[in-house]
Amino acid sequence: MAQDMMRSHVVVLGDACVDMVIRLPDRTRGTPDLTNSLPQLHGGGSAANVAVGLVRLGVAVVMVAAVGDDGYGRWVKEDLVREGVDVQGICTIRDAFTPMVMALIESDGERLVVAWPPEGGAHLQLTPDAVDWTSIESASWLHTTGMCLRASPAREATLRAMQLARKIGVKVSIDLNLRLESWDLDEQTRSEFERAIELSDVVFGNAKEEIMPMARSESVEAAVHLLCNGERIIVARQGDRGALVATPKETFHAPAFHTQVVDTLGAGDAFDGGFIAACLAKVDAREAARWGNAVAALKIGRVGARGLPSLEDLKQMLGH
CA distance 275 to 217: 25
CA distance 7 to 5: 5
* Cβ atoms < 10 Å from Cβ of 127: 14
pTM summary value: 0.92
Least confident of 8-12, 29-33, 85-89: 29-33
Q: CATH number of the domain that 70 lies in? A: 3.40.1190.20
Residue pair 271/205 in contact by the 8 Å Cβ criterion: no
Counting Cα atoms < 13 Å in the Cβ hemisphere of 98 gives 25
Domain total of the chain: 1
- For residue range 115-128, list pLDDT tens digits in order: 888 778 999 999 99
CA distance 289 to 294: 9
> Is the pLDDT confidence value at 19 over 70?
yes
- How would residue 150 be classed by pLDDT, with cut points 50, 70 and 90? very high
> Is there a cis peptide before residue 39, judged by omega within 30 degrees of 0?
no
Residues 6+ apart with CB under 8 A from 120: 96, 97, 151
Q: What integer is the mean pLDDT of 301-305?
A: 88
Least confident of 79-93, 109-123, 128-142, 209-223: 109-123
CA distance 312 to 56: 9
- Give me the pLDDT at residue 5, please: 44
> Is the pLDDT confidence value at 30 over 80?
no
Domain of residue 251 covers 2-318
Residue pair 310/56 in contact by the 8 Å Cβ criterion: yes
To the nearest whole number, what is the mean pLDDT of the chain? 92
Number of residues assigned to the chain:
320
CA distances from 56 to 61, 82, 179, 310 (A): 10, 11, 27, 5
DSSP state of 122: G
> Is the pLDDT confidence value at 305 over 90?
no
CA distances from 266 to 8, 50, 57, 85, 260 (A): 23, 9, 16, 18, 16
Minimal CA–CA distance to 184: which of 272, 237, 119? 119
